[in-house]
Chain A
Amino acid sequence: MPLQFRPILEQWPYLLGGAWLSLEMAALAFACGMLIGLVCAALLQLGPPYLRRLITAYVTFATNTPQLVQIYFLFFGLPEVGVILPPLAAALVGMTFNAGAYLCEILRAGMLSVRSAELEAADVLGFSRIQVLRYVMIPHVMKVMFPSLSNQFIIMTLGTSMASVFGVEELTGRTMSLGAETYLSVEAFIVAAGLYLTISLVATFMLIVYGRVIYRIKARML
């Protein structure tokens, strides 16, 4: 049976809308996860011991269980205690929960990579705290973290496909509906795969350019 792409490609605005939702979800979950990760990483360095243990437990748990089952728990489990999350919210909360843990690990590794001698040197040169942050810490830390952060963002963009399981109409969800309507599932998923490939390649390229221009990262990324 020859592949028929025309009925799928005719629906391009529908699919692109789904792809846009995927990107939005990834960006939102990444931003919220970054916030959680920053707080957790900072508390791991400075917080009281019991808080440190709590955060370690959170990171260990979140990184050792599947995101899909975490979202299942949020979506099907929480209504039993009266918290009813709509599919999109459940997916986003699950992704944020997961991203927070991974980003915490990345940020912690970055913070550990700052040498105290560098900070002392900046102090000797009479840098203010803001200047130390701006000229010593961020350039140094970002060189270590930026590739991992970019990688995490790409992984999360691809991971949004999981939300389709709960009926969110993002790219994979719309592809499933389109495949079911037209009986052309194979073609629909080939188109979706192409879209995911394009999105991730464009995002990678943009992140590489950004890293080169802003943080002068020369190393090959991703």
Chain B
Amino acid sequence: MPTPAQSLSYYDGRLLLIGLLTTLGLAVAGCGAGFLFGFAVAILRTTRSRAMAPLRAALFVYCLLLRRIPFLVTLLLVFFACQSTNAGLSTFAVALITVGLIATAYLSEIIRGGLESVHAGQWQAARALNFTHWQALRYVIVPQAWRVILPPAVGFLVMFIKDTALASQIGVMELTSAGKVLGNKGLPSMLVYGMILLLYFLISYPLTRLGRRAESKLAFARNR
């Protein structure tokens, strides 16, 4: 039976707030890094020269691997690997590395899909105008591709915020861990986890709506 003393205190609220910010930080930092590196990976994979072939193969394997190993397994692998090398990283840093690695793999696939969605004639036209590979990307391909890239990228961010709940398993103090702490303190689990679910929902739902709106708007602009 919950007694009156077991109601939420100021410090519980602070814990939840810190957890919320950590969750957001993990997701945003991970996706930011993922977008940056993912763009680099995707662009390197559009190159056609033979000298780049081994690099392209390596990047292909990297994307394949990280998209086919569960988040939790990657997280624990990075965690134990960091532990065995005595790198002295905090659990948050470990989670950040993992999140960045995974987001890079997923986002590079999304970005590559966007780049490939641009008609091949655009590449040929750019080449006919004597653009270099990089100039063609910068001035012709990317301005057309980002409309295709943005909606699934937002969708990925939404998915990713939810996936970061797994970081609680290595002891990162994010939203799910905060819920666990409050539960262990003796607050009714139903209340605590209901609240955590609600908080995740409050972050995730507006982003989902935003993604849908961006999708319909950009799709309209593309079909002109």
Q: Which residues of A contact B (CB under 8 A)?
A: 1, 60-61, 63-70, 72-73, 76-81, 154, 158-162, 164-165, 172, 175-176, 179, 185-186, 189-190, 192-193, 196-197, 200-201
B218 within 8 A of A: no
CA separation between A63 and B72, bound complex, in Å? 19
CA separation between A176 and B77, bound complex, in Å? 10
Nearest CB on A from B196, distance (A): 5
| B176 contact from A69, A185, A193, A200, Cβ within 8 A | A69
- List A contacts of B166 (CB < 8 A): 68, 162
Is the pair A185, B76 in contact by a Cβ cutoff of 8 Å? Answer: yes
Q: Which residues of B contact A (CB under 8 A)?
A: 65, 68-74, 76-77, 80-81, 83-84, 158, 162-163, 165-166, 168-169, 176, 179-180, 183, 188-190, 192-194, 196-197, 200-201, 204-205, 208
Besides A77-B189, A186-B84, 5 other CB < 8 A contacts?
Answer: A64-B204, A72-B180, A77-B194, A81-B190, A189-B73
Interface of B is mostly: helix
- List A contacts of B165 (CB < 8 A): 66, 68-69
Closest 9 CB pairs between A and B? A77-B190, A161-B70, A66-B162, A66-B165, A76-B189, A185-B80, A64-B204, A73-B193, A189-B77
Is the pair B65, A64 in contact by a Cβ cutoff of 8 Å? Answer: no
- List B contacts of A185 (CB < 8 A): 76, 80, 83-84
- List B contacts of A65 (CB < 8 A): 162, 197, 200-201, 204
8 pairs from A and B in contact (CB 8 Å cutoff): A63-B208, A68-B166, A69-B197, A73-B193, A77-B192, A172-B76, A186-B81, A189-B77
Is the pair B69, A73 in contact by a Cβ cutoff of 8 Å? Answer: no
CA separation between A66 and B163, bound complex, in Å? 7
On whether A72 and B179 interact (CB within 8 A), knowing A65-B162, A66-B162, A80-B188, the answer reads yes
| A72 contact from B69, B83, B163, B176, Cβ within 8 A | B176
On whether A61 and B80 interact (CB within 8 A), knowing A162-B166, A193-B74, A197-B68, the answer reads no
Is the pair B72, A162 in contact by a Cβ cutoff of 8 Å? Answer: yes
CA separation between A77 and B194, bound complex, in Å? 8
- List A contacts of B70 (CB < 8 A): 158-162, 172, 196
| B189 contact from A80, A186, A192, Cβ within 8 A | A80
Is the pair A77, B193 in contact by a Cβ cutoff of 8 Å? Answer: yes
- List A contacts of B73 (CB < 8 A): 161, 172, 175, 189, 192-193, 196
On whether A189 and B76 interact (CB within 8 A), knowing A72-B179, A76-B193, A80-B188, the answer reads yes
Nearest CB on A from B136, distance (A): 24
On whether A69 and B200 interact (CB within 8 A), knowing A80-B188, A189-B77, the answer reads yes
Is the pair A186, B201 in contact by a Cβ cutoff of 8 Å? Answer: no
Is the pair A176, B76 in contact by a Cβ cutoff of 8 Å? Answer: yes
- List A contacts of B196 (CB < 8 A): 69, 72
On whether A76 and B204 interact (CB within 8 A), knowing A66-B163, A161-B72, A162-B72, the answer reads no
- List B contacts of A76 (CB < 8 A): 183, 189, 193
On whether A189 and B189 interact (CB within 8 A), knowing A64-B201, A164-B72, A196-B68, the answer reads no
- List B contacts of A79 (CB < 8 A): 189
CA separation between A5 and B45, bound complex, in Å? 33
- List B contacts of A192 (CB < 8 A): 73
Nearest CB on B from A180, distance (A): 11
CA separation between A164 and B204, bound complex, in Å? 25
CA separation between A172 and B70, bound complex, in Å? 9
On whether A73 and B194 interact (CB within 8 A), knowing A80-B188, A185-B76, A193-B74, the answer reads yes
- List A contacts of B84 (CB < 8 A): 1, 185-186
| A165 contact from B169, B190, B204, Cβ within 8 A | B169
Is the pair A201, B190 in contact by a Cβ cutoff of 8 Å? Answer: no
Is the pair A66, B176 in contact by a Cβ cutoff of 8 Å? Answer: yes
Is the pair A197, B197 in contact by a Cβ cutoff of 8 Å? Answer: no
| A64 contact from B81, B163, B190, B200, Cβ within 8 A | B200
| A172 contact from B72, B83, B193, Cβ within 8 A | B72
